[in-house]
């Protein structure tokens, strides 16, 4: 679970929170944001660490490097239609017309407040920070270390025009050197204009915190991008809740849903999606193509590294969902989606594996 990342180092007391008040928000009370339907399971740091590192899977990491393709930006730039590429974990680069939008950029070696401890990535990013194009926008879902990375944000300040973040996160971005006028802070159901695109912060069921003292002081969101005829949904992190149907009713149907699928655990079942719930959420959203994210990069739970992919394949087949599983670095467009249904991970499964 995400807060276990904070406990892996003695520096976990370091944090930064906003002092703003959001009394107009329906999910804000006494200085904290909350989930109207479910609160995070309070399993405690040692319970989370025990679950992952002492009672985890026999296959937490792949036995050999997973495939990563170099990102061909020239394909994105020459395409007349929107294109996207999975860079690793939940980081996705989207191109709309001549705009580049980067979701939850995380390029550091560890999802941690320090470089010497915490979950270490076992799959490198599909592109380096230096090779990224100039960005029209960075979009952040919440402030956990595997979604909001200080090193990455600081490295991209001079090459990013604007930032869209949940309520409370703006103060942290400014503290890192992002000019205040370049940050738009949104609450659930609030919208902004990004060029010719509509960007909307929509609900999710999760939590926030970068230290032992700032839990839920900033908001967590999912995101909707509407551009011409394209509708795209980015889940961020979330448990299953009625909000998916509400988002689908308001903004759907969606051409593409980028859905969390990994780091689930029965100990924190209300704040992460199990594969079955990922597929159901996609259906609630009235999605067409489902692209699973949040997997094959970090060991953040007690399941095998490949289990989320194996299980979502089973669920997608059962519900006749169009499951798209590109290799990190693959550039995909709406017209090429059907070319990325190869289940690449099967070539890397241990011979004795059996997903229960």
Average pLDDT over residues 49-77: 89
- What percent of the chain shows pLDDT beyond 70? 89
CATH number at residue 165: 3.60.15.10
Q: What is the pLDDT of residue 4?
A: 42
Quick check: 19 pLDDT over 70? Answer: no
Asked if residue 40 is part of any domain, the answer here is no
Helix, strand, coil % in the chain, rounded to nearest 5: 25, 20, 55
Q: What is the pLDDT of residue 14?
A: 39
CB neighbour list of residue 226: distance below 8 Å, 6 or more residues apart: 197, 198, 199, 200, 232, 251
Asked if residue 31 is part of any domain, the answer here is no
Q: Which domain holds residue 168?
A: 2-8+45-348
Structural domains of the chain, count: 1
Residue with tokens 């026999």: 58
Asked if residue 26 is part of any domain, the answer here is no
Average pLDDT over residues 229-250: 98
Q: Nearest Cα to 164, choosing from 150, 148, 152, 175?
A: 148
Asked if residue 356 is part of any domain, the answer here is no
Asked if residue 94 is part of any domain, the answer here is yes
Q: What is the pLDDT of residue 190?
A: 98
Asked if residue 291 is part of any domain, the answer here is yes
Asked if residue 20 is part of any domain, the answer here is no
- DSSP-derived letter for residue 352 is T
Average pLDDT over residues 72-84: 96
Query: Does the pTM exceed 0.75?
Result: yes
Q: What is the pLDDT of residue 231?
A: 98
Average pLDDT over residues 89-110: 97
Asked if residue 18 is part of any domain, the answer here is no
Q: What is the pLDDT of residue 42?
A: 66
Quick check: 333 pLDDT over 90? Answer: yes
Average pLDDT over residues 153-159: 98
pLDDT in tens, 240-249: 999 999 999 9
Strands (E) across the chain are located at 28-29, 32-33, 83-88, 91-96, 99-103, 137-139, 163-166, 183-186, 190-194, 197-202, 222-227, 230-234, 254-260, 287-293, 322-323, 331-333
Average pLDDT over residues 326-355: 91
């Amino acid at each position: 679970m995400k807060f276990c990342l904070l406990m892996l180092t003695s520096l976990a007391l370091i944090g930064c929170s906003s002092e703003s008040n959001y009394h107009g928000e329906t999910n804000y009370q006494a200085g904290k944001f909350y989930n109207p339907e479910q609160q995070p399971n309070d399993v405690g740091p040692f319970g989370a660490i025990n679950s992952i590192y002492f009672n985890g899977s026999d296959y937490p990491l792949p036995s050999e490097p997973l495939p990563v393709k170099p990102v061909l930006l020239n394909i994105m730039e020459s395409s007349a239609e929107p294109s996207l590429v999975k860079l690793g974990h939940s980081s996705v680069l989207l191109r709309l017309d001549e705009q580049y939008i980067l979701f939850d950029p995380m390029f550091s070696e560890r999802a941690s407040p320090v470089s010497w401890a915490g979950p270490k990535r076992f799959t490198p990013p599909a592109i380096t920070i230096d090779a990224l194009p100039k960005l029209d926008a960075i979009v952040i879902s919440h402030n956990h270390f595997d979604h909001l990375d200080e090193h990455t944000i600081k490295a991209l300040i001079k090459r990013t025009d604007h930032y869209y973040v949940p309520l409370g996160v703006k103060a942290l971005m400014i503290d890192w050197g992002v000019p205040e006028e370049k940050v738009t802070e949104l609450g659930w159901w609030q919208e902004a204009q990004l060029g010719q695109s509509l960007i909307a912060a929509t609900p999710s069921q999760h939590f926030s915190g970068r230290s032992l003292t700032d839990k839920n002081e900033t908001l967590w969101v999912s995101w909707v991008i509407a551009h011409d005829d394209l509708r795209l949904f980015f889940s961020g992190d979330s448990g299953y809740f009625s909000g998916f149907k509400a988002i689908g009713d308001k903004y759907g149907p969606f051409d593409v849903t980028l859905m969390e699928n990994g780091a689930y655990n029965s100990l924190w079942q209300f704040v992460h999606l199990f594969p079955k719930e990922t597929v159901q959420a996609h259906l609630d959203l009235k999605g067409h193509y489902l692209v699973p994210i949040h997997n094959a990069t970090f060991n953040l739970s007690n399941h095998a590294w490949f289990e989320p992919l194996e299980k979502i394949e089973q669920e997608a087949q059962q519900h006749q969902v169009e499951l798209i599983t590109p290799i990190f670095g693959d550039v995909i467009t709406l017209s090429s989606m059907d070319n990325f249904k190869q289940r690449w991970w099967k070539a890397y499964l241990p011979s004795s594996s059996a997903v229960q």
